[in-house]
Chains A and B, each alone.
Chain A
Amino acid sequence: EVQLQQSGAELVKPGASVKLSCKTSGYTFSNYYMSWLKQMPGQNIEWIGNIYGGNGGTGYNQKFKGKATLTVDKSSSTAYMDLSSLTSEDSAVYFCARVYSSYIYGWYFDFWGPGTMVTVSS
């Protein structure tokens, strides 16, 4: 059974950084991309970027370059996202989601983590 377990809620001060984790099980981590996504309360979902479990290769939404840094630890099948210079605009729920890629059917998010709520407040 594919499972994505995300780290717990974070309360951080403005200007600080935070590192979120997404520990996976039930599939071969190095064969898939992992995406990170942002959802502010009552709002649309935004795609932050992808990271490949096999070699750590990344692709980012231009909007989040400089804000988010994606990494992986293959030994523990865990993906990480660092968020830096946090402001109130970064307060949101952040999801990790496995990317299923198919030449015929395209790319889509087939399994999601439960989300991590990040609150930026002094």
Chain B
Amino acid sequence: DIQMTQSPASLSASLGETVSIECLASEGISNDLAWYQQKSGKSPQLLIYAASRLQDGVPSRFSGSGSGTRYSLKISGMQPEDEADYFCQQSYKYPWTFGGGTKLELK
């Protein structure tokens, strides 16, 4: 199975701060990577697909980048509603696998 290693496991950011979350795949995944946001007690919501494409309705402060084995999610200007867990997920090979998650809190 492809292992997805996310970092950091948790972080806190001030209002307006730019935040980055990294995801490292155990082998190349050819940009078959998505990012999800999960608020407390809710189901995950798709933010980014194909490594860098913004899902409809997602604020433009969210962006994704990367290639090969290294990918990142950036939030340009932390907002209170961005407090959540974030997960990366690869669909390059079965079984599809997720990163361990990053808990983002507002400082």
- Hey, which bits of chain A sit against chain B, CB under 8 A? 35, 44-47, 59, 61-63, 95, 97, 100, 102, 104-110, 112-115
Contact = CB atoms under 8 A, between A and B. Distances in A.
Contact of A107 (B42, B91, B97): B91
A46 B98 CA distance: 7
Contacts, number: 63
Interface of B: 31-32, 34, 36, 42-46, 49-50, 53, 55, 87, 89, 91-92, 94-101
Contact of B87 (A35, A45, A113, A114): A45
| Most chain B CB neighbours (cut-off 10 Å) among A104, A108, A112, A115 | A108
A102 B34 CA distance: 13
Contact of B34 (A63, A95, A108, A113): A108
Given A61-B95, A97-B43, A108-B46, 18 more contacts: A35-B96, A44-B98, A45-B87, A47-B97, A59-B94, A95-B44, A97-B44, A100-B49, A104-B50, A106-B49, A106-B50, A106-B91, A108-B49, A108-B89, A109-B34, A110-B46, A112-B45, A113-B43
